[in-house]
Structure 1
Amino acid sequence: MVKKVLGAMVPVLASVFVAGGAVQAQAAEGDRSYASVTGTARLDYVTAADDVRLTLDAHAVFDSPSSVPTHAWGTARISHYFSEPDVTVWAEATVDCVTAGGRSATVTAVVDDTAPEIADWRGKRIGVSIYSGSTGERAMVGSSGPMPVAELPKCMAPAPELPLRWGGYQVSRR
């Protein structure tokens, strides 16, 4: 039962992964630009009794005018409490790409460690997209779920579609 429910949760957990981060850009220095996504959020998950959270601390350096970072670093953390069957799973991943523009960002990360129930996520890449929202707009997250690294390129994720219940992210690039 847990494996079946967890399999259905892959897209949600990946979404949480992204939603938790905020994106901040630092001042450009010479021909380089910087981007970051940092923050924590709880996703407005389909099952209201479940608690899905994503924390991001993701950063990147770009050699201008490239849209692909020359170096990315940081951590993504996901946790998902399932009210049925009353279990919490979690995953931690190392960021390998951050791209940002306006209120949108994309983060990819490779999973390093997990709860035993989702150990098959280790070594797989997760792609997360974030729309940080603006006044009167809800922030949203999208996620690919864990995929083999060879099948999900760095910096790729589906469009954000899952709103946040609380928390949020900042997205910027300078």
Structure 2
Amino acid sequence: MSHEHAQHGHDHHDRHDHHPHQGHAGAGSWRNAAQATLHCLTGCAVGEILGLVIGTALGLHTGATVLLSVLLAFVFGYALTMRGVLRAGLDLRGALKVALAADTVSIVVMELVDNGVMVGVPGAMDAGLDSLLFWSSLAFSLVVAFVLTVPVNRWLIARGRGHAVVHAHHH
């Protein structure tokens, strides 16, 4: 995946080197899994950070803040994928189906991990937006989520699932 892809979604044909049903040597590779995970993490992180910032700024209870961040992570995660497949010519309903197939498992794993880390770090959720503890815990939680989600995405891509379904809509 190019640097441009990480910033602009799925808008080029060379984005993913995986096509499991065609037997490419790169199908299910760690590189492809890391690229897919980075793409997914981009959308998730936007929603996650926004939700945690809003919840913390409003003084919401930890549960409500986590719920808000998870909902926004799904919205932004799906939206990033939909943006690319809509550009490739898919209609809104088709783009939503692709996003659901491509990102749901990855987002679920990321959200379980990063919210688990945030809640598990003593004081992180109550630290406030001006606290190093809050921001360092959030950064750490996203790194841990990325590391633990890469193998999941590798497994999915190797079976023609997850982000492998997005690639079919770029041709």
Q: Same fold (TM over 0.5)?
A: no
- TM-score normalised according to structure 2 size: 0.29
Q: Relative to total residues, which structure has the larger strand share, 1 or 2? A: 1
> Greater relative contact order: 1 or 2 (C-alpha under 8 angstroms, separation 6 or more)?
2
